Amino acid sequence: MTERIAIDPITRLEGHGKIEIFLDDDGNVANTYFQIPELRGFEQFCVGRPVEEMPVLTNRICGVCPEAHHMAAAKAADAVYKVDPPPTAKKLRELLYSAFYVTDHTTHFYALGGPDFIMGPDAPVAERNILGVIHKVGLEIGGKVIQARKYGHTVIEIIGGRKVHPCTSIPGGQTRGINEEERAEIEKMGRWSVDFAQFSLDIFADIVLGNQEYLDLILGDIYSHRMHYIGLVDENNLVNFYDGLVSVVDPNGKRLGKYAPDEYGDWIAERVEAWTYLKFPYLKQVGWKGFVGGEDSGVYSATPLSRLNAADGMATPLAQEHYERFFETLGGKPVHQQLATHWARLIELLYAAERWVELATDLEITGDDFHTVPTETPTEGVGIVEAPRGTLTHHYWTDERGVLTKVNLIVGTTNNYAPISMSIKKAAESLITSGTVVTEGLLNMVEMAFRSYDPCFGCATHSLPGQMPLEVKITDAQGETVETLRQYC
């Protein structure tokens, strides 16, 4: 019996996926495999390079979030030299980083994840994209989205020297500062972004939260996974993207602890599977129990939702209000409904915009002491930042000249590789059963499960390029290929 199932490829995520779905005799899902088909080997070929080049080398891991790698690399390089950059440098970096968050979260919500809700899962594929969103919500929103991205990139260019792949962070600080004129412009754009973030939350409120069908969808079981969560927090356990400790909470919301960058090895381990080039990180102390959730499985996620779960709140007032509303609405911490990640992302968007303004109005931001010359002999160092798609860890070892001898990277989306696989399987199980008439919208829900993580395989495949052709292959119990659906994006 070969049941033909038509399924559209998963689209609108930065990178691609290859999904193998195996059916049993009854035509139910026996197992699914989500594969990452490529490898680049940065950890290998960064060895031998001078450490000050890592911020620009690792940029090229991902063109979608080069800023995250630039920051993590710069912080790791600081650590290698045991040098503490001047306050101005740190603030410049965080300011650039906040602006980056605004563009990145905006892009995802409006172009990638958002359409699922705004248009509705049942909407025709052709409409489930940014253009559909513009049609439904109105043309001016399109202008705003473009504006938000433009502003973010402008700040990145002013501080980082370039729109894509910034180049100004070096061990001990920055190659240059900003002047008052630039600061004023940055502040202006920041204030606009705060309004934009609130505007976006309003849209989400009336289109999604205002719609019982969507709410049920979010709160429903299909997209729910009880797992561990991690996220970077400041000294008050509030969400921070640039610096702090990584907070780890269990599926009950109990904080297992917080680890400093150089302690990541005690907390995180990675598993290798022969059928994919990408490794599966998990909580070392809890251990690898396979693709399952719960207290006893080391599987964790690192997403906007995870960060909200792992923190005690947001460091800026407006974002904090929404943080509280978020958990009230969804029934307290921790929230396991992965689709809520879209909402969490917008709350982070607001936080990033507020932080942007805070830093742009900080007196030290225009200071001219933006670099400290390292004096210590370089040895080993870890740098961690919170990338939009998950905690980003760079770990370097160097010789006495500061030339790399070993490199270890645990990158954004990689953290969520296991959860994504689980979500896909769960979605597939609940959607593909013998006799199910699979409709377009229904199957898009598989994609939604996937998309809530905003997976970026440019990053995840730091061991390989941004390209990941998605292929969904459905094979029946006799090993007959029922259907192959490919998408090379």
List the one residue from 252, 406, 434, 439 that touches other proteins (CB under 8 A).
406
Tokens of 246: 């990584």
CB count, 10 Å around CB of 124? Answer: 10
The residue among 368, 416, 366, 412 whose CA lies nearest residue 390 is 412
Alpha-carbon distance of 241 to 356, in angstroms, equals 12
The answer to whether 227 and 299 are in contact (CB under 8 A) is: yes
Residues between 92 and 111 that touch other proteins (CB under 8 A): none
* β-bridge mates for residue 398, sequence order: 404
**Does the protein bind other proteins through residue 134 (CB under 8 A)?**
no
Burial class (CB in 10 A: 0-12, 13-18, 19+), 2: middle
Tokens of 39: 């490898």
**Does the protein bind other proteins through residue 135 (CB under 8 A)?**
no
- Name 332's Cβ contacts closer than 8 Å, sequence gap at least 6: none
- Name 83's Cβ contacts closer than 8 Å, sequence gap at least 6: 171, 172, 372, 373, 374, 375, 376
Q: Give first-to-last CA distance, the chain, whole Å.
A: 32
Residues between 292 and 321 that touch other proteins (CB under 8 A): none
**Does the protein bind other proteins through residue 421 (CB under 8 A)?**
no
| Encoded amino acid at 225, one letter | H
Least distance (Å) from other proteins to the CB of residue 242? 20
Which residue stretch of 10-18, 252-260, 309-317, 329-337 sits at the interface with other proteins (rule: CB under 8 A)?
10-18
**Does the protein bind other proteins through residue 436 (CB under 8 A)?**
no
SS3 of 50-73: EHHHHHHHHHHHCCCCHHHHHHHH
Which residue stretch of 93-101, 202-210, 241-249, 366-374 sits at the interface with other proteins (rule: CB under 8 A)?
366-374
Residues between 333 and 352 that touch other proteins (CB under 8 A): none
Least distance (Å) from other proteins to the CB of residue 326? 30
Look-up of token digits 């995250």: 68
Alpha-carbon distance of 356 to 101, in angstroms, equals 10
Residues between 252 and 271 that touch other proteins (CB under 8 A): 264-265, 268-271
Which residue stretch of 6-14, 209-217, 223-231, 233-241 sits at the interface with other proteins (rule: CB under 8 A)?
6-14
The answer to whether 52 and 402 are in contact (CB under 8 A) is: yes
**Does the protein bind other proteins through residue 464 (CB under 8 A)?**
yes
* β-bridge mates for residue 169, sequence order: 174
Least distance (Å) from other proteins to the CB of residue 96? 12
Least distance (Å) from other proteins to the CB of residue 2? 14
**Does the protein bind other proteins through residue 146 (CB under 8 A)?**
yes
Alpha-carbon distance of 421 to 73, in angstroms, equals 28
Which residue stretch of 170-178, 210-218, 357-365, 436-444 sits at the interface with other proteins (rule: CB under 8 A)?
170-178
Which residue stretch of 276-284, 328-336, 356-364, 418-426 sits at the interface with other proteins (rule: CB under 8 A)?
276-284
Residues between 12 and 31 that touch other proteins (CB under 8 A): 14-16, 18, 20, 22, 30-31
**Does the protein bind other proteins through residue 394 (CB under 8 A)?**
no
**Residue closer to other proteins (CB basis): 2 or 11:** 11
**Does the protein bind other proteins through residue 403 (CB under 8 A)?**
yes
Residues 32-71 as x/- pattern, contact with other proteins by CB under 8 A: -x-xxxxxxxxxxxxxxxx-xx--xx--xxxxx-x-----
List the one residue from 163, 226, 325, 333 that touches other proteins (CB under 8 A).
163
**Does the protein bind other proteins through residue 389 (CB under 8 A)?**
no
Alpha-carbon distance of 470 to 475, in angstroms, equals 16
- Name 227's Cβ contacts closer than 8 Å, sequence gap at least 6: 251, 293, 294, 297, 299, 300, 301, 336, 419
**Does the protein bind other proteins through residue 168 (CB under 8 A)?**
yes
Least distance (Å) from other proteins to the CB of residue 253? 26
Least distance (Å) from other proteins to the CB of residue 371? 8
List the one residue from 2, 9, 135, 433 that touches other proteins (CB under 8 A).
9
